[in-house]
Chains A and B, each alone.
Chain A
């Protein structure tokens, strides 16, 4: 059992610097670039990253607990699949709008408020709220994004056969990914604080392209089901 916990943690560390930065780095970059450009102390600017990652790891732990309690990865993953695909699609759409906002055509997206879609209004509330605390629920939701690396850890969680061992396995994995994603977030935040004008707007275009990629990924996974 202890070997399994250590393995889960090291999987997170190894995965964080390779897999996670590559696959979820665009997401981290998008909300870092979308942050207000008002000069703030570095630690204050890191708070969104800490909250986002705390939310993400909370979700991993919860899923790991459910996997451990059920003892079956396939059954639980099957039930989660639909939700995960929706999250992937919404994430892509949200990143596109974030990019539009950075580029400076956010006002033209006001039409979305006329659409009476609860999911979009909820997403807008989370993204548009001025409170830094919004990054925690954002992390909770985005922790549901489908990820092959986390699936492997969830298989291990299911194999523990228990709620708390399963939860602990997934929690340790999440903690292992923390150094890489916090570091990447710090770099992105430093870059966004020093970019102004056209370079900042170019960042918005990059965020939109990355959003299209996430959207395409979510639709492609859905189509394969």
Chain B
């Protein structure tokens, strides 16, 4: 009886180690942005800008300011190539917290006028006190996909 109890305890410890390791790895995998284009910006003051290798400019912004967690926000993506807005792209937005799985948070973006895509959503608060978030914008245009990551802090 004692032996089987010890074996069960050892098995539980081994399995728990595997589970915790899998959890840590999964967070690490989820945290890694596949974006070639990544920038850290002060979203509280101004919009964020990334120029992709294909010559597209992706501008990301959030209103109203200050950008606070747990409030209704408007997410804005402006796409342009040179001076011309990109009007025929398919865009999506994925909000995540680097290093912490917070579930899928993907406000739907719709084009409101030439090259400007908007969506409404909420950035949740993490009780850990972490205020760093990442917005990953994926743009599909002319058969190509560009991904831009914007890292910022909320209040």
Contacts and interface: CB of A to CB of B under 8 A. Distances in A.
Nearest to A84: B127
Given A74-B70, A152-B104, A22 B23 contact: yes
A187 interface: yes
A180 B104 contact: no
B16 A184 contact: yes
Interface residues of B, number: 34
Contacts of A23: 127-128
A21 B24 CA distance: 10
B19 A17 contact: yes
Contacts of A221: 125, 127, 129
B105 interface: yes
Contact of A21 (B13, B15, B20, B127): B20
Contact of B122 (A7, A21, A74, A191): A74
A135 B24 CA distance: 29
A164 to B, nearest CB: 21
B97 interface: yes
B100 interface: yes
A14 B30 CA distance: 10
Contacts of A186: 12
A217 B30 CA distance: 25
Interface stretch (A58-66, A141-149, A199-207): A141-149
A221 B126 CA distance: 9
B125 A155 contact: no
A57 interface: no
B127 A180 contact: no
A148 B124 contact: yes
A184 B23 CA distance: 12
B122 A17 contact: no
Interface in B72-107: 72, 97, 100-105
Interface string B10-31: 0011011001101110110010
Contact of B22 (A17, A187, A190, A217): A17
A23 B12 CA distance: 20
B8 A42 contact: yes
Interface string A1-36: 000000100010011011101110000000000000
Nearest to A17: B23
B66 interface: no
Interface of B: 5-6, 8-9, 12-13, 15-16, 19-20, 22-24, 26-27, 30, 70-72, 97, 100-105, 121-122, 124-129
10 contacts: A15-B103, A17-B23, A18-B23, A148-B125, A152-B104, A152-B124, A153-B103, A155-B122, A187-B13, A191-B9
Q: Which 5 pairs of residues, A with B, have the shortest CB-CB distance?
A: A152-B103, A151-B124, A148-B126, A18-B23, A17-B23
Interface of A: 7, 11, 14-15, 17-19, 21-23, 42, 73-74, 77-78, 81, 88, 145-149, 151-153, 155, 180, 183-184, 186-187, 190-191, 194, 217, 220-221
